[in-house]
Structure 1
């Protein structure tokens, strides 16, 4: 399903019933670039601009519930320092668009995922200082999220922090077994090592689950500031340090590697400095950080393998998913190397 296939009349009527549009007959629905796993569209009737998120054409198991979880989390973040889109309405009636979806405010900002050419002064040719501050703002956003009092925000039951790490290997292996069609080199060794190296002490907090430059937006203008963290479909209450390891998995460790990833990291702090900055911002000593690195790669390989399996089965339309294979094998390799180096 594409945005063009959405039933605009039903959508317009539902939006009017929620008092979100004044002129349903004038509703405009435009696709938004980015988002390989969901349908994301901009809505407007000439007076108000919103964004809709709906599962893909073939709705994977659990994705309707994931939409409800995203909406619940956005609601819980209202009034916190975490920049986010304002949740407006949730629809669980499949007669409207065939799946659960929700509508939120449109964020006024720019997305690093939308273009290879970032606006001034953040393009590489415009100097080092602005890009460094952009990276600092990214890691500061992650630290801010980790500090939210999730219980006070009504998120008890949103995740299961008790036994979080003890469940990780079994949880992700069970997920993998739903679509497994091959072995991924390195994951057996990584899984066995993770079971034996569970952190003894850690502090539960809100996890985004897929935090990176691709899932944030920045405010327009020369001063780097997060406008919103987006794409909360993997969020839970767990160990926020895993978010850091997830973000750092793609981050260059050496100056000669700044051009070799999906983002040009020219002028930004290298991986070790970013980890140190997070440590300073949060006061977390980051004990057992290698464990988090291994788990991030273990989890990433399985998450991407799920999308790749659906692509091979014809359940995903986005051709970008065809390129997941290299990243899957790379994550397995890195996990095994980290275990061997431990």
Structure 2
């Protein structure tokens, strides 16, 4: 019989290779060990984390989690648990597992709830492939309808051309909607290359200004940022959508404000299933507005197709933004700060090597 265990990784190597954070905690909630994914998620080395109180490093919003932590014999599994790590608020999938032979000791695992490619996202993309194929077939007769309306318009007096203009305008609107559906259903991602993030942001601002008129945006840029790894066209489209949404939302405020910030953040990692490895996302661009915010009833679904906070929105803008960001192996998140009255959209991207 062949011994398949020879050369197999040991327990420590197995834990080191995990793409989610693993923390070993003593009965009095002192961190004893942290794996590399835990260092990345928490933004600190294991040397600095060992010996610190878990509740000092992680601040849990849900009192139930804190209660379970105080009882060393209880286990817990929680999805989208809200917690704060230093100055970052994240939603994490959490498990607390007591160690049977070591009373009070626990293994805690954490993974960012926004990381990776969730099954629901793959299902929604699969559901969009059918409409995308159908959309391709619809565009040909739409073009014929538009052309016929233009021909009829030439034969009518100017006073009677309103109806034909209505037809062409509606055809153009439907064609634009179909284009967006096709982009959502497209599987192939645009190629990525090193980009100057600030130059890309200013291109997006110029486009929004040209289409909608002048706007006041406060820029808080970190000039020392290295190049990001992304698709120039896709990133411009992402920023156009986010800035336009922020501009629209802030119009309800007494003194409308839109802020774009960039910064370098350590410790954020995305588990990219299709790549089979974690990807560090240290570069952040944040688009903020002081509008009324998104309806709480749909906040958890705003990146899904056909969900919209706008009265006449189609619900494809943020779904497309989410797809484009993930195609660049990045991550986008949303946060409403009720205390200050600001809404923040944060895009995290990998750094070009």
TM-score (norm 1): 0.25
Higher helix share: 1
User: Which has a greater percent of strand?
Assistant: 2
More RCO (CA 8 Å, sep 6+) = 1
